[in-house]
Amino acid sequence: MTQISSRRAYAYLAVSCAALVAPLSGCVALLGAGAGAGGATYVASGGLSDYQAYYPVSLGQATAASRAVLGEMHISYTGNLHKKENEEAIYGKTTDGTKVSVNLQSPSAQVTKVEMGVGLMGNKVLSQQFFRLLSRRLGVHATVTPPVFHN
């Protein structure tokens, strides 16, 4: 195979992969895009694009605020799980019965990572609304990387 034809083959492969991933939405598409882009995370037009965010608050504050935001969004609470000392999961259902999970992990006493999952494929609009309301309720801005605190 010549160098030109191998480049063309790779180009066709890239276009084919993009065409297969294009109809997907939510978490699966983000996983494919993230894997292809080296797992890069970014903030676009004021909203978090990857359904996770870091907040400069304690696990308890983030958990209480997350439960309040789910209620505000009319997502019914179905339970929670205290996984470890620094991990919590909250479960709920939307009005149409779609399962929702909010996983919270606190790498330090001052920082909590919040992840939201909606159904099997995710829901970008619902996730962005959740993070927007959570930031407002906590009174802090979310970041896509853990905040750094200097002593």
Among 144, 145, 117, which residue's Cα sits nearest to residue 27?
117
Give residue 43's pLDDT.
40
Type and span of the H or E element at 48: strand 47-48
Burial label for 120, CB within 10 Å (0-12, 13-18, 19+), is exposed
Beta 47-48 vs 52-55: how paired, if at all?
unpaired
Where do we find the tokens 């890239």?
A: 14
- Cα–Cα distance for residue pair 22/141, rounded to 1 Å: 30
pTM of the model: 0.65
Per-residue pLDDT of the chain (151 residues; tens, 9 = 90+): 554 555 555 555 555 555 454 454 444 443 433 333 322 233 444 444 358 899 999 999 999 999 999 999 999 999 999 888 899 999 999 999 999 999 999 988 899 999 999 988 888 899 999 999 999 999 998 888 787 765 5
- Cα–Cα distance for residue pair 27/126, rounded to 1 Å: 13
Give residue 126's pLDDT.
92
- Cα–Cα distance for residue pair 78/110, rounded to 1 Å: 27
Give residue 146's pLDDT.
80
Give residue 46's pLDDT.
44
